[in-house]
Amino acid sequence: MSNSQLCRERKATKIIIFQQNGSGEEKIAGIKEFGTDLEISKVFNIDLALPELIDEPEEYLSENFSGDLVLCFLKHPDLIDHLVSICQKKKIPVIAAGKKHQGAISPFTCCGLGRHSGLGAYGEQFGFPELEISLEENLIKGITIKRGASCGATWHAAPEIIGLTTEEALVSYARAVQYLCTANPAAFDPITGKSALHYAGDVHAAALKKALTGK
């Protein structure tokens, strides 16, 4: 049974989004364009100037929400901490890409999300890319995207490799994704020394290589 058939047989996954100054808009657009059986039931946007330390985060974050999954695109650590604590009380999983907060699922980027139970249709369709490739005389003839980045880069970059050799495609796909990636290129991970932008290119190259070689 295909992923699309599975999605049609279950209830839509209800998503609540928290963002600052529109920080999740690209992901919202990607989810709407490429997602199936996903309902963005509420978007909370904080567009106020915030102090360096927030002693009473409840003044900024509403607890008046319910759903199956929370996507956190907040930037202020005090707000993220408080949101995670709210979600824990409500028993709603929360994904906070790039934030590394205990209690949240925290992949390095949106395209670095592994498979986790309890994420519904979102977890089936968005996260670490999964591709199927058709070849004709070592040229990329077609690409089917089974899972990809919520920003949509996985899908938007795909036409760039049609007609390329497999060797050319591995380089070109990663580069095309990096051009489209909305991550901050200046934000480097102190452990790996890589930025989220480089990481996004790497995971897409790895997914393409796996689709081509099975490894």
Domain ranges of the chain: 3-125, 130-213
Q: Could you say which DSSP state residue 12 is in?
A: P
pLDDT at 99: 81
Domain 130-213 has what CATH class?
A: alpha beta
The CA distance from 144 to 161, in Å, is: 12
Q: Using one digit for the tens of pLDDT, what is the confidence trace for 33-88? A: 999 999 999 999 999 889 999 999 999 999 999 999 999 999 999 999 999 999 99
Write a three-state SS string for 117-183.
Answer: CCCHHHHHHECCCEEEEEEECCEEEEEEEEEECCCCHHHHHHHHHCCCEHHHHHHHHHHHHHHHCCC
Is residue 194 over pLDDT 80? no
Q: For residue 89, what pLDDT is reported?
A: 96
Q: Which residues contact 11 (CB under 8 A, 6 or more apart)?
A: 37
pLDDT tens digits, residue range 158-180? 999 999 999 999 999 999 999 99
CATH tag, 3-125: 3.40.50
Give pLDDT tens digits for 128-137: 999 999 999 9
Whole-number percent of the chain with pLDDT over 90: 80
Q: What is the pLDDT of residues 79-112, one digit of tens each?
A: 999 999 999 999 999 999 988 788 999 999 999 9
pLDDT at position 16 over 90: yes
Residue 182: predicted pLDDT: 80
